[in-house]
């Protein structure tokens, strides 16, 4: 069943995305209830992630479904990457290969690592969100909070933002963001800081366009963060460093997120692309000051 579905989806999606110059997309998104997995295409590589459950523990289920997907598309074993996801889990580093490949997103290029971390360095479900941010970026002072590997920053810079600031607590991710910017002939300010500390220290600095895409849960610096509990306060503090009429894009992939945005001028935007068929990849809100 999985092989047939992956083959069918590939025949439908691959030609369309090739015409658009998109090299990273989702082929299978928990389409079949009995096969709880995601299969992602990265420029000829397959990343197969099983969503862990008791029924498949202790049996080679992931290996079996990954093999079926790879055989359906004639992907060799050295281009097959296996992962296990668990709801609410924090994931250690999986490997230390240090190997990265380039993937296309229209006229942009991003570096991804398919083995070392649970996530690859690029959230392909935000492909359309990046396009929306890019379309609004011309002439803006752009702020990327929880910048990760800087894909939103690349989109804003490519959209002719006047300046960009990317904030993340991880130097590894900031280095990755710098590499992504350089890969696209771009540059920008990179700030190693926790978001709370950065917002407290912002002083009189103001930005006109901001992306705020926090983790669902985190525990760093002795302070825990829960996006459901803490998102309203975080959004208000991000809005405080925006100029009048500034725009904040807030997003979360929390599966049971209930927004508390009363009194804020906002719209929920449909930015989940067609290849994420279960439509639960993320929720995105455009908030104006």
**pLDDT tens, residue by residue, 70-110:** 999 999 999 999 999 886 667 888 999 999 999 999 999 99
Instruction: Check pLDDT > 90 for residue 22.
Output: yes
Instruction: Check pLDDT > 70 for residue 3.
Output: yes
Q: Where are the domains of the chain?
A: 2-85, 101-288
Q: What architecture does CATH give domain 2-85?
A: 2-Layer Sandwich (3.30)
Each residue's pLDDT tens digit, 169-212: 999 999 999 999 999 999 999 999 999 999 999 999 999 999 99
Each residue's pLDDT tens digit, 134-171: 999 999 999 999 999 999 999 999 999 999 999 999 99
Q: Tell which wins on pLDDT, 223 or 116.
A: 116
Instruction: Check pLDDT > 80 for residue 223.
Output: no
pLDDT at position 179: 98
CA distance 229 to 244: 27
CA distance 170 to 167: 9
Burial bucket for residue 119 (CB in 10 Å: 0-12, 13-18, 19+): middle
pLDDT at position 55: 79
SS3 content of the chain, % helix, strand, coil (to 5): 30, 30, 40
CA distance 83 to 76: 17
pLDDT at position 89: 63
pLDDT at position 221: 59
Superfamily designation of domain 101-288: Vaccinia Virus protein VP39 (3.40.50.150)
DSSP structural state of residue 79: G
Q: Tell which wins on pLDDT, 192 or 280.
A: 192
Average pLDDT over residues 100-127: 98
CA distance 94 to 107: 31
Average pLDDT over residues 246-271: 96
């Amino acid at each position: 069943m999985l092989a047939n579905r992956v083959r069918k989806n590939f025949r439908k999606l691959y030609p369309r995305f090739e015409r658009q110059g998109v090299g990273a997309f989702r082929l299978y998104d928990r389409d079949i209830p009995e096969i709880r997995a995601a299969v992602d295409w990265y420029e000829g590589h397959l990343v197969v992630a099983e969503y862990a459950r008791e029924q498949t523990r202790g049996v080679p289920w992931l290996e079996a479904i990954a093999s079926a997907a790879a055989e359906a598309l004639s992907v060799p074993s050295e281009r097959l990457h296996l992962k296990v996801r668990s709801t609410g889990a924090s994931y250690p580093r999986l490997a230390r290969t240090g190997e990265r490949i380039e993937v296309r997103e229209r006229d942009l290029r991003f570096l991804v690592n398919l083995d070392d971390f649970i996530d690859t360095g690029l959230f392909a479900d935000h492909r359309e969100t990046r396009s929306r941010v890019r379309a609004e970026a011309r002439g803006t002072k752009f702020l990327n909070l929880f910048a990760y590997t800087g894909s939103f920053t690349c989109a804003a810079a490519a959209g002719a933002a006047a300046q960009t600031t990317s904030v993340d607590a991880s130097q590894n991710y900031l280095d990755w963001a710098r590499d992504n910017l350089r890969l696209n002939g771009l540059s920008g300010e990179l700030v190693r800081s926790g978001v709370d500390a950065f917002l407290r220290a912002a002083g009189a600095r103001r930005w006109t366009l901001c992306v705020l895409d926090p983790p669902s849960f985190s525990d760093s610096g002795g302070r825990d963060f829960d996006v459901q509990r803490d998102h309203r306060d975080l959004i208000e503090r991000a809005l405080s460093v925006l100029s009048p009429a500034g725009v904040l894009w807030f997003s979360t992939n929390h599966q049971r997120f209930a927004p508390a945005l009363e009194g804020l001028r906002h719209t929920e935007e449909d930015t989940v692309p067609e290849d994420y068929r279960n439509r639960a990849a993320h929720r995105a809100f455009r908030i104006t000051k």
